[in-house]
Amino acid sequence: MRKYKQLLLANKAWSVELLDEAPDFFARQVGGQKPDFLWIGCSDSRVSPEQMTMTPPGGMFIHRNIANLVNADDLNLMSVLQYAVAVLEVKHVIVCGHHGCGGIKAAMDGGTEGPVDRWLGNARAVHQAHAAEIAGAGDQDQRINRFVEVNVRDQLVRLARTSVVQARFAADEPLALHGWVYDLRDGLIKPLLEIDSTTRLDDIGAPDRVLV
């Protein structure tokens, strides 16, 4: 069987199973969405946010890109952020990197070209800003994994500095930003840091440049 047909068959089975469990499931979905979470993660096929957190449809607004980068001039991410935070009023924004990230490895080792190479400029800047910390982490895998963690930290700070998040913090609305790393080896998520309206961003380790 052609592989893509498997997707459509699986979809039918999924729909039947959900209706079996909750006959009004799709009727409720049509009514609208009110997710508590915005997830910003890597596009890597092994890192599946809803599956690894057992989140049902409607629970999570999602944006994914290579190496989970936050750029103020990325209209795609910034509109997702604006809609999730200002309109849907999510309570939590999660930036989740993952160990063994190919995008992060490429930002460190090079060998990319075209759009991917341009995209990774943000990650290369993170590497440059924390070169000593990353170099001191150990062997190559350990260096990549430290870079993954440092990258999550810097991207979360970039997120905290956006005008959308700053406005929400200033209005004292409930909003927390979470930096996480997913470990491919055991399927577990390690929380790294959390930012809310009381956090002093300068204490975390400022990114190389302010992007807002």
Is 101 or 123 the residue whose CB approaches Co ion more closely?
A: 101
DSSP state of 23: T
d(CA 58, CA 2): 30
Please state at what angle helix 163-170 crosses helix 75-82, rounded to 10 degrees.
20
Q: What are the angstrom distances between the C-alpha of 188 and each of 33, 52, 86, 105, 115?
A: 27, 8, 30, 21, 31
Among 53-61, 87-95, 96-104, 179-187, which window interacts with Co ion (CB under 5 A)?
Answer: 96-104
Of 35 and 103, the one with the shorter C-beta distance to Co ion is 103
Q: Is 98 a catalytic residue?
A: yes
Residue 46 among the catalytic residues: yes
Task: Indicate the residue among 155 and 165 with the shorter CB distance to Co ion.
Answer: 155
Give the single-character DSSP code of 13: H
Fill in the per-residue mask, 17 to 56: x = in contact with Co ion (CB under 5 A), - = not in contact: -------------------------x-x------------
Q: Which of 158, 154, 167 is nearest to 72 (CA)?
A: 158
Strand 92-98 and strand 37-42: the pairing is: parallel
Q: In angstroms, give the least distance from the CB of 97 to Co ion.
A: 7
Q: Which of 28, 36, 46, 196 is catalytic?
A: 46
Helices (H), 86-129: 102-109, 114-119, 121-129
Site for Co ion in 57-86 (CB under 5 A): none
Site size toward Co ion (CB under 5 A) is 4
The candidate with the shortest Cα–Cα distance to 157, out of 69, 36, 47, is: 69
Q: How many CB atoms lie within 10 A of CB 117?
A: 14
Which residue number, 69 or 80, has a Cβ lying nearer to Co ion?
69
Identify which of residues 49 and 103 has a Cβ nearer to Co ion in the complex.
Answer: 103
The answer to whether 101 contacts Co ion (rule: CB under 5 A) is: yes
- Beta carbon of residue 160, minimum distance to Co ion (angstroms, whole number): 22
Kindly state the smallest distance separating residue 21's Cβ from Co ion, in Å.
33
Residue numbers at the binding site for Co ion (CB under 5 A): 42, 44, 101, 103
Residues labelled as active-site residues: 42, 44, 46, 98, 101
